[in-house]
């Protein structure tokens, strides 16, 4: 499966997102999710939706997530570049905004946690879609 298609597959994404308890397609450009996240001393379960916007298939899109518990929004700009016939490079830029209980932890901790989570998701994704040697 090409990486561009795999990034739209809820079963693949579910195993790539740390703490993901469920991820279901609501439409071709929207998913619903339940994710348990740890941010420093706070553990929170978020239920929310994920929407794909700015779709430029197969080159990339913007993934936007909104959580229902407390206040959480975030997303990532994802772009694919085919380097060779067998190698596709994925570029991402993630951002997050969290309020209420989690905001009390401070912007620095939230920023580093969201960057670490995004890095983990894309590292896990690369491991899942990489061709077997």
DSSP state for residue 132 in the 8-state scheme: P
Nearest residue to 63 (alpha-carbon basis) of 102, 10, 18, 112: 10
What is the average pLDDT score of the chain?
Answer: 77
Check residue 24 and give its pLDDT.
94
User: What SS3 state is found at 105?
Assistant: helix
CA dihedral 34, 66, 119, 12 (to 10 degrees): 50
CATH number at residue 17: 3.30.530.20
- The percent of residues in the chain predicted with pLDDT above 70, rounded, is 71
**Ramachandran angles phi, psi of 14, nearest 5°:** -55, -40
Which whole number is the average pLDDT over 22-35? 92
Check residue 46 and give its pLDDT.
77
Q: What's the number of domains the chain is made of?
A: 1
The tens digit of pLDDT for each residue in 66-118 reads 775 555 677 778 777 776 677 777 777 776 666 655 555 555 666 677 778 77
Check residue 26 and give its pLDDT.
94
**pLDDT > 60? residue 19:** yes
Domain range spanning residue 61? 3-129
Check residue 31 and give its pLDDT.
92
How far apart, in Å, are the Cα atoms of 124 and each of 3, 18, 63, 108, 128? 12, 9, 17, 24, 6
Between 7 and 28, the more confident residue is 28
Between 57 and 31, the more confident residue is 31
């Amino acid at each position: 499966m090409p990486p561009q298609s795999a990034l739209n597959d809820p079963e693949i994404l579910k195993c790539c997102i740390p703490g993901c308890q469920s991820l279901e397609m609501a439409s071709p450009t929207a998913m619903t999710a339940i994710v348990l996240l740890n941010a420093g001393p706070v553990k929170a379960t978020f239920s929310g939706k994920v929407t794909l916007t700015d779709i430029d298939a197969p080159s990339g899109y913007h993934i936007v997530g909104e959580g229902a518990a407390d206040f959480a929004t975030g997303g990532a700009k994802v772009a694919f570049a085919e380097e060779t016939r067998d190698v596709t490079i994925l570029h991402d830029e993630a951002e997050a905004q969290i309020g209420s209980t989690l905001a009390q932890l401070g912007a620095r901790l939230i920023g580093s946690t969201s960057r670490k989570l995004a890095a983990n998701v894309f590292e896990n994704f690369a491991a899942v879609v990489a061709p077997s040697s």
